[in-house]
Amino acid sequence: MTVIRYTVPITVVVAVLALLRPLPAYAGTELSQQLCRGNQIGSIRDTALTVLNGQPTSFGYRDRTIIGPGIPLRDGDVVRIRATGSIKIDSWPWGPSYSPAGHPVERTRTFWGGISAPSYGLYGFFVSTGTAFPIGADSGCVVHRGPETWLWLAQNDERTVDNSGRWDLAVRVWNF
């Protein structure tokens, strides 16, 4: 009888502890990373965005009145951004233009996220966590860790008012 009396409470405690432990993002994060690395089709088709004249764009933004392109990113989603094009960084005819890779040797701290990234290059920023990452022409496979968020995509240039040109972006998401 004593064994039965203690077996039930122990089973209940084990079940409660199993419910309280933090769950992983979801089981598919590892699969999503593998598919991204293999350049396979994502769960969300490529979303086309443009950084025009150095002005930032966003992916997955939502509020009560505005729904931006893309979907909000969840914990464990894998995202990859590819970019092409050229943005001229001043109004002088002989001024330099840069691809999304930015300056080949100069680095600047990003306004959002404060990371050191190529000057005039493309970078991303997960709004909910304040995490920034360099993108360049190809971000590689980036895993979002944190609460649901949207992605801010910007040029690493503190003065974009005199910029001209465009970068064409393709954002792909895996969330299996």
Identify whether 25 is part of a domain: no
Identify whether 6 is part of a domain: no
In this prediction, what percent of the chain has a pLDDT beyond 90? 73
Region 131-138: mean pLDDT is: 97
Identify whether 65 is part of a domain: yes
Region 50-76: mean pLDDT is: 93
Query: Residue 74: exposed, middle, or buried by beta-carbon count in 10 A (0-12, 13-18, 19+)?
Result: middle
pLDDT reported for residue 43: 87
The C-alpha R_g of the chain, in whole angstroms, comes to 22
Identify whether 18 is part of a domain: no
pLDDT reported for residue 26: 54
171: pLDDT strictly greater than 70: yes
Residues in the chain: 176
CATH number at residue 130: 2.60.120.430
Instruction: Please count the structural domains in the chain.
Output: 1
Kindly report, residue by residue over 7-48, the tens digit of the pLDDT: 444 444 444 444 444 444 455 899 999 999 999 988 888 999
Identify whether 66 is part of a domain: yes
pLDDT reported for residue 40: 92
Nearest to 153, CA basis, from 42, 145, 162, 142: 142
pLDDT reported for residue 27: 54
| DSSP-derived secondary structure for 72-138 | -B-TT-EEEEEEEEEEE-SSSTT--EE-TT--SS-EEE-TTT--EEETT-EEEEETTTTEEEE-TTB
CA distance 42 to 31: 11
Nearest to 51, CA basis, from 100, 89, 103: 100
- Tally of CA atoms within 13 A in the half-sphere of 123 that contains its CB: 28
Domain residues for the domain of 71 are: 42-174
68: pLDDT strictly greater than 60: yes
CA distance 125 to 140: 15
CA distance 176 to 22: 19
Identify whether 29 is part of a domain: no
